[in-house]
Chains A and B, each alone.
Chain A
Amino acid sequence: MGWFTKSKQDKRVIKDEIWTRCESCKAHIFKEDWTNNLSVCPRCNFHGRITAYERIGQILDSGSFKEINQSITPSDPLEFSDAKGSYAEKVKASRKKAGLNESVITGTGQIKEIPVVVAVMDFRFLGGSLGSGTGEKILRAANTAYSQRLPYIVFSASGGARMHEGVLSLMQMAKTCAGIARLDKRGLPYFSVLTHPTTGGVSASYAMVGDINISEPGALIGFAGRRVIEQTIKQKLPENFQTAEYLVEKGFIDCIVQRKDMKNTLAALLAYYQSKR
């Protein structure tokens, strides 16, 4: 290796450690500023993706989170393989990269001392796709809320159903919704927070049937992909199509909440539910 190549590489590493590039306005932001601002761009207010554990840290009272069903992880029921390799290998790589066993983290915790059950999706694990394990964890968490009579809050971030598990993943849409449906019987609150992005089979199942649907500024929320729609109708779609703001306008989201206000908003809603008059 030539000395010039090496030095170039080193520079790159240093640069990445210091700067974050906003996905939306492309501005370079000091990583420290980015993180301190909860991964929200200080220039354009773009709400960047965060990991499930970061989200939990922002929402739940410090130290209150108790994870459940952490060991659930994909098996490879179809022995699925495509041009780029096997599903099993992709799972392995994703587990290593994200340090997670599935695309959702579930558990119990407290929001301003109000006990809740949460499920938080993580886009880094196979695009937050809904697989059998994801569906199982979301259902089991709903069942925990049901049996312990607790509010249930799900944060979605997903490209949709996981193709590599075929129709088994499609069925998770029905399975998760069956768990959500039961909460009504006991009058338990179910809040859905649709974060960037929530699309496909996840938008068409548990994410869209919250008692209250909440989103973050600019989040992409849609059923079909923009490209597919444009090809189908042979028209260009408006710039704000399938954004959280667009969905508020169309009547599918109750409110858009800034990330810094999310915990307070959820706490206020929970308190409202709980207050007995």
Chain B
Amino acid sequence: MEPTLEFEKPIAEIEEMIAKLKKLSEDKKGDFSNQIKELEKECVEHKERIYANLTPWQIVQIARHPKRPVLEDYLSLICDEFIELHGDRRFADDQALIGGFATLDSRRVMLIGHNKGKSVDENIKRNFGQARPDGYRKALRLMKLAEKFRLPVITLIDTQGAYPGRDGEERGQHEAIARNLTEMARLEVPVVACVIGEGGSGGAIGIGVGDVILMLQNAIYSVISPEGCAAILWRDAAKAPEAADALKLTAQSLHELGICDEIIPEPAGGAHHNHSETVENIKNTLVKYVDKLSRLSGSKLVQKRFEKYSKIGMFAD
């Protein structure tokens, strides 16, 4: 049974009833076609009402949904091939953040992304997609490799944040992220950054300096987690829904703020309801931008990227 989000319960209940009636019909216990039709209509209405009015906090739940497609799904569903490259050549191979040579609709790209797992075991090995400095340094190594081979870089962002552990601090989590921001600013190949789930703070932007920033419809991108923000500014982590609202972290908000260049649609209720539809959407959009950006020279890309980031921010003068 799929985990159901609180606000989806009315839908799940109706769907369960429909399934039961269908089972009865199949078992020839009577004709329930009228009831089924009625319930299906009701279900569609519920979906339209609920999914059209999602609050930011509900979107956070969707972005973190355990059944939401993760990097691994995209690698198998959008890439014709993927050759993973391992290690930062400094300390370790961080499985929370991986990358390698990929082929996407016959285009060769360097694909890098946070690697959330689907099971507990996977998540332990991949540290829930929370990378250490080694992950960011591996990502940079791969980006420099992409530059050498003139490969566009695609980064798929999905992390709660960079791992806040002792070893990360000791090996310079700050330096690793700062270095990536600086080097990505002058990388002479196209960089397409796409938030597929959670865009958590420094851990997200550490691979996120793109010529374009794309977001899946129910992805979030924030300077701090709603829980963290609530704990600091409301002194109560339970106020996370309020913080989620205040932080303007949805794709829609980021688009309005001029940070997200394009929102990639998801099926009603979120990507976890229909993986293949999401995958198709994301693939087409990534390819579109890779093609568009590949027409620009390296120096032009760097110049335009500098101009893009120079313009981000709102202040009074």
Contact = CB atoms under 8 A, between A and B. Distances in A.
Interface of B is mostly: helix
A177 B182 contact: yes
Interface stretch (A8-16, A48-56, A165-173): A165-173
Contact of A209 (B178, B209, B247): B178
Contact of B305 (A83, A169, A178): A178
Contacts of B174: 203-204, 207-208, 221-223, 252
Contacts of A93: none
| Interface range on chain B (Cβ under 8 Å from partner) | 35 or more
A166 B248 CA distance: 7
A94 interface: no
A75 B257 CA distance: 14
Nearest to A101: B316
Interface in A146-204: 161-163, 165-175, 177-182, 200-201, 203-204
Interface stretch (B41-49, B280-288, B307-315): B307-315
B80 to A, nearest CB: 31
B310 A139 contact: yes
B232 interface: yes
A61 interface: no
Contacts of B97: none
Interface of B: 162-166, 168-175, 177-179, 181-186, 199, 201-202, 205-206, 208-209, 221-224, 229, 232-236, 239, 242-243, 246-249, 253-254, 257, 259, 305-306, 309-310, 312-317
Leading 3 A-B pairs by shortest Cβ distance: A132-B313, A224-B164, A77-B314
29 contacts: A72-B315, A73-B317, A77-B257, A78-B246, A82-B246, A102-B315, A131-B315, A161-B223, A163-B229, A163-B247, A167-B222, A168-B312, A170-B223, A171-B205, A173-B178, A173-B202, A178-B182, A178-B185, A182-B306, A201-B223, A204-B206, A208-B174, A222-B169, A223-B164, A228-B164, A229-B164, A229-B166, A229-B169, A250-B170
